Amino acid sequence: MKRGGPLKRLKQLRRSGFKAKRKGEEKLERSKKLVWRRDDGKCRICKGTFHLQVHHIVPRARGIGWKGLHEPANLVLLCCVCHQGVHDASLPGWEEWLRRRPLS
Ligand SMILES: [Zn+2]
Ligand SMILES: [Zn+2]
């Protein structure tokens, strides 16, 4: 371990982290539009159109630093009901279901 400047290093890390995050958000916004078009403005699971949200298949928490995180291939359009179901695991097997209907 090199001596000196751990605080500076921490500051650098923080700064680049913020930058990466902002860049990620911009990318996510672009991808969201593509996902809306790809999924035809409908929930992938029930085809509903109520309160649509974009869900990350590989969650953000697990995909930190992964460049595919905000790619359309990692995103699906879900209505808020199905989205909730996916997150609280009351829709078991939905990932398997998604695999059988691959994203275009
Ligand atoms: Zn739905
Ligand atoms: Zn989600």
> What is the spatial distance between Cα 33 and Cα 41, in angstroms, rounded to a whole number?
10
* 66 in a structural domain: yes
Ligand nearest to the CA of 84: 2
Task: Note the pLDDT of residue 77.
Answer: 96
* 40 in a structural domain: yes
pLDDT digit string, tens, across residues 21-40: 788 889 999 999 999 999 99
Q: Is the pLDDT of residue 73 over 80?
A: yes
Helix (H) or strand (E) holding 75, with range, is strand 75-79
Distance 50 CA to ligand 1 centre (A): 8
* CATH code of the domain in which 57 resides: 3.40.1800
Query: What is the total count of domains within the chain?
Result: 1
Distance 31 CA to ligand 1 centre (A): 20
Boundaries of domain holding 83: 23-100
Q: Is the pLDDT of residue 76 over 70?
A: yes
Distance 48 CA to ligand 1 centre (A): 5
